[in-house]
């Protein structure tokens, strides 16, 4: 327990967030209000974001000016989650105070060089925008606009945020437009008492960019009292019309109907088909079960040659091929099941501890904490699974009869469980981090953050996984050989494997059933997947975590039901390799998720360029793999309980 306490203390110390200036969000008159600049980049490419002063903007001539040793060079202290989310907040240099008086600050650039002018022109042509934060409220603004040479500019939105939401990259002939930069920024700050509740920014005064020109930038700050409550200040950023559209409700209802259908199908298998099987095998009384003693062809049921799933009773609990691998996969999968549920519940309980969309990087921080603490689940699950099935392997049989040394394969299982998911994640993120470093974006993960993540993994995640493995291996004291098998399974395992029939219909082959199972599971979540992808790639705040919790529950049921159906048909075809089949039935959902990701990229976004493409498909690969492990584990778990249940009552001669 002392070790766990120390681990939790280390984790809390490393991951903890530090409160921002004005953490209580209350100001006195004349108190300074910090304005932080975050990033600048093309609106169509979320990951192609650079530091604000990558463009040759000037710093305002205030007491925070770099020449006066002010806060202009200061970077805001951030949590690990904020860094991973691509936030690099730097002081803007503006001197804004909580005072209901209009104030204007200005600065002028030196004559632009050709390179600097080209930077502005490129940014305007590719629809770059910038993001700032004032009192933890995000503020967006346009760098500039393409003004048609033949007429005036059509720009009727009330502020830059609304303009960005309506932005479309439909300019085809750049020669017909003149790139111009906004040089005046009108910032309207609304306050209620001592708290800021709304910040609007409207850009104005377009100036043409030319080599040798000097641009004068102004920030005009206006204050306005409002009756809007502080607790609802993030409501304007939440697109309720989009997330709570009737289609969203209909998709959940449609998924629920699919659950009812699949539950009915499984109930039919359990209550009718299996009972008929039991009657055919003489396990239950046929008259009591309500069945005639003859089948449809007039043959007595009890006199029929036995065929079907009962024939594999001596092999159904045989260890699957690649036992250490599947044990590690299932251990990691159960960790992801707990991790996903924990993060969703944490977000659902937002009203109690603070809405997660109001704090930068809070969801990512929650993921790191939950992943580290749930490592004990992965170790326990993989260790127990390996212990259950290892006695059924030929190596264990030989060791039991010859008195050989105890196996050390469990150490391999533990190592695979510890390294499997982190290795894959680090490999993908290393590629993305290298690409980001080459392009110079703010999504490059600093070395200090990498070091902190490594310390969390090595001092919290790994020890908990090892502890979990030990607990899983010593849950019960099994005997040797058949004694160990009967402790976990209802049937003995034959020494010689039974041959699997090759001539079976398509619905008895995993290759014909697994893709259909994955399609049904994907069908229950693809609408919610659209909303999640839109939140990730289209600057929307995902906040309907109640929907997500419901869809997650539906996914658990659908994956379980489809895997049970697939395993039943395979066992009926006397194929006892059900463990990998059950895992693949759920994991195949990941294939459809990745294919949908390709469709979304091509038809639902305007992303372009090598940088954004690599980032998008890198993250989609990670998302698909995680969903595959999660759904595969759920499918295997449901199928395992099903197989145990139907063989519990089998009479073996």
Measured in degrees and rounded to the nearest 5, phi and psi for residue 164 equal -65, -40
Most distant CA pair in the chain, distance: 101
354-389 confidence digits (pLDDT tens): 888 888 889 999 999 999 999 999 999 999 999 888
Most confident of 17-31, 146-160, 246-260, 540-554: 540-554
Residue 303 has pLDDT above 70, yes or no: no
Q: Which residues contact 539 (CB under 8 A, 6 or more apart)?
A: 46, 164
Lowest mean pLDDT: which of 100-104, 407-411, 596-600?
Answer: 407-411
Q: How far apart are CA 279 and CA 300, in angstroms?
A: 11
Q: How far apart are CA 473 and CA 450, in angstroms?
A: 33
519-548 confidence digits (pLDDT tens): 989 988 988 899 999 999 988 888 889 989
442-472 confidence digits (pLDDT tens): 999 999 999 999 999 999 999 999 999 999 8
pLDDT at 180: 92
Measured in degrees and rounded to the nearest 5, phi and psi for residue 328 equal -65, -40
pLDDT at 336: 97
Residue 285 has pLDDT above 50, yes or no: no
Q: How far is CA 345 from CA 238, 373, 374, 481, 579, in A?
A: 20, 15, 15, 43, 30
Mean of pLDDT values over 90-106: 87
Nearest alpha-carbon partner for 190 in 43, 33, 347? 33
Helices (H) and strands (E) in the chain, counts: 22, 11
**pLDDT-based confidence at residue 633 (cuts at 50, 70, 90):** very high
Name the residue ranges covered by the structural domains of the chain. 2-237, 239-306+503-653, 322-498
The residues that bridge with 604 in the sheet, in sequence order, are none
Residue 163 has pLDDT above 70, yes or no: no
Nearest alpha-carbon partner for 363 in 347, 375, 385? 347
**pLDDT-based confidence at residue 22 (cuts at 50, 70, 90):** very low
CA end-to-end span of the chain: 50
CB atoms within 10 A of CB 61: 15
More confidently predicted of 214 and 475: 214
**pLDDT-based confidence at residue 146 (cuts at 50, 70, 90):** confident
Mean of pLDDT values over 130-141: 93
Residue 170 has pLDDT above 90, yes or no: no
pLDDT at 250: 79
Residue 38 has pLDDT above 50, yes or no: yes
Most confident of 27-41, 94-108, 431-445, 470-484: 431-445
483-532 confidence digits (pLDDT tens): 455 567 777 888 788 888 888 888 888 988 999 999 989 988 988 899 99
Tokens 């044990």 found at: 327
Percent of the chain surpassing pLDDT 90: 49
Secondary structure letter of residue 298 according to DSSP: S
Q: Mean pLDDT, the chain, as a whole number?
A: 83
Q: Which residues contact 455 (CB under 8 A, 6 or more apart)?
A: 10, 14
541-580 confidence digits (pLDDT tens): 888 899 899 999 999 999 998 999 999 899 888 888 999 9
Using DSSP, state whether 289 is helix, strand or coil. coil
Mean of pLDDT values over 72-88: 86
**pLDDT-based confidence at residue 171 (cuts at 50, 70, 90):** low
**pLDDT-based confidence at residue 9 (cuts at 50, 70, 90):** very low
Mean of pLDDT values over 134-151: 87
Lowest mean pLDDT: which of 203-212, 304-313, 625-634?
Answer: 304-313
């Amino acid at each position: 327990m002392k070790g766990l306490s120390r681990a939790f203390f280390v984790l809390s110390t490393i991951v903890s967030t530090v409160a921002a200036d004005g953490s209580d969000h209350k100001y006195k008159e004349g108190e300074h209000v910090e304005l932080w600049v975050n990033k600048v980049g093309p609106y169509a490419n979320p990951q192609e974001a650079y530091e604000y002063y990558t463009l040759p903007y000037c710093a305002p001539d205030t007491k925070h000016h770099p020449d006066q040793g002010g806060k202009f060079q200061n970077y805001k202290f951030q949590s690990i989650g904020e860094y991973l989310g691509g936030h690099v907040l730097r002081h803007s240099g503006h001197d804004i105070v909580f005072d209901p008086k209009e104030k204007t600050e200005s600065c002028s650039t030196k004559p632009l060089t050709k390179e600097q002018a080209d930077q502005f022109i490129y940014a305007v042509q590719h629809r770059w925008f910038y993001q700032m934060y004032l009192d933890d409220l995000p503020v967006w603004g346009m760098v500039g606009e393409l003004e048609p040479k033949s007429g005036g500019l059509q720009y009727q939105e009330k502020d830059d945020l609304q303009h960005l939401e309506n932005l479309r990259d439909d300019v085809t002939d750049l020669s017909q437009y003149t790139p111009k930069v906004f040089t005046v920024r009108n910032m309207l700050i609304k306050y209620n008492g001592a708290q800021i509740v709304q910040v609007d920014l409207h850009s104005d005064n377009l100036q043409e960019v030319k080599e040798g020109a000097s641009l004068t930038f102004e920030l005009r700050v206006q204050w306005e009292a409002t009756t809007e409550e502080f607790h609802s200040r993030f409501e304007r950023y939440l697109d309720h019309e989009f997330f709570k559209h009737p289609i969203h409700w209909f998709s959940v209802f449609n998924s629920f109907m699919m659950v009812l259908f699949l539950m009915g199908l499984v109930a039919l298998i359990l209550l009718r088909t299996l009972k008929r099987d039991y009657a055919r095998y003489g396990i239950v009384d046929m008259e009591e079960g309500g069945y005639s003693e003859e089948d449809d062809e007039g043959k007595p049921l009890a006199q029929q040659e036995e065929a079907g799933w009962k024939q594999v009773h001596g092999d159904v609990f045989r260890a699957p091929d690649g036992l250490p691998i599947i044990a590690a996969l299932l251990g990691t999968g159960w960790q992801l099941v707990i991790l996903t549920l924990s993060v969703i519940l944490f977000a659902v309980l937002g009203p109690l501890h603070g809405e997660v969309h109001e704090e930068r990087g809070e969801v990512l921080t929650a993921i790191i904490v939950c992943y580290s603490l749930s490592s004990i689940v992965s170790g326990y699950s993989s260790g127990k699974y390996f212990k259950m099935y290892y006695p059924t392997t030929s190596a264990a049989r030989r060791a039991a009869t010859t008195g050989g040394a105890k196996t050390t394969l469990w150490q391999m299982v533990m190592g695979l469980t510890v390294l499997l998911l982190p290795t894959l994640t680090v490999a993908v993120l290393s590629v993305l981090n290298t690409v980001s470093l080459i392009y110079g974006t703010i999504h490059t993960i600093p070395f200090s953050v990498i070091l902190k993540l490594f310390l969390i993994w090595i001092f919290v995640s790994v020890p908990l996984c090892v502890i979990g493995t030990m607990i899983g291996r010593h849950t019960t004291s099994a005997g040797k050989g058949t004694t160990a098998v009967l402790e976990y399974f209802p049937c003995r395992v034959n020494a010689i494997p039974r041959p699997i029939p090759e001539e079976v219909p398509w619905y008895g082959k995993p290759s014909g059933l697994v893709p259909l199972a994955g399609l049904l599971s994907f069908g229950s979540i693809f609408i919610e997947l659209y909303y999640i992808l839109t939140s990730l790639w289209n600057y929307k705040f995902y906040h309907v975590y109640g929907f997500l919790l419901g869809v997650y529950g539906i996914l658990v049921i659908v994956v379980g039901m489809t895997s049970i159906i697939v395993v039943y048909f395979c066992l009926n075809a006397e194929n006892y390799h059900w463990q990998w089949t059950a895992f693949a039935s759920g994991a195949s959902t990941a294939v459809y998720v990745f294919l949908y990701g390709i469709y979304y990229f091509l038809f639902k976004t305007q992303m372009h360029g090598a940088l954004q493409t690599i980032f998008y498909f890198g993250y989609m690969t990670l998302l698909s793999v995680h969903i595959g492990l999660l759904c595969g584990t759920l499918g295997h778990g449901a199928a395992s309980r099903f197989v145990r249940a139907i063989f519990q009552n089998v009479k073996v001669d």
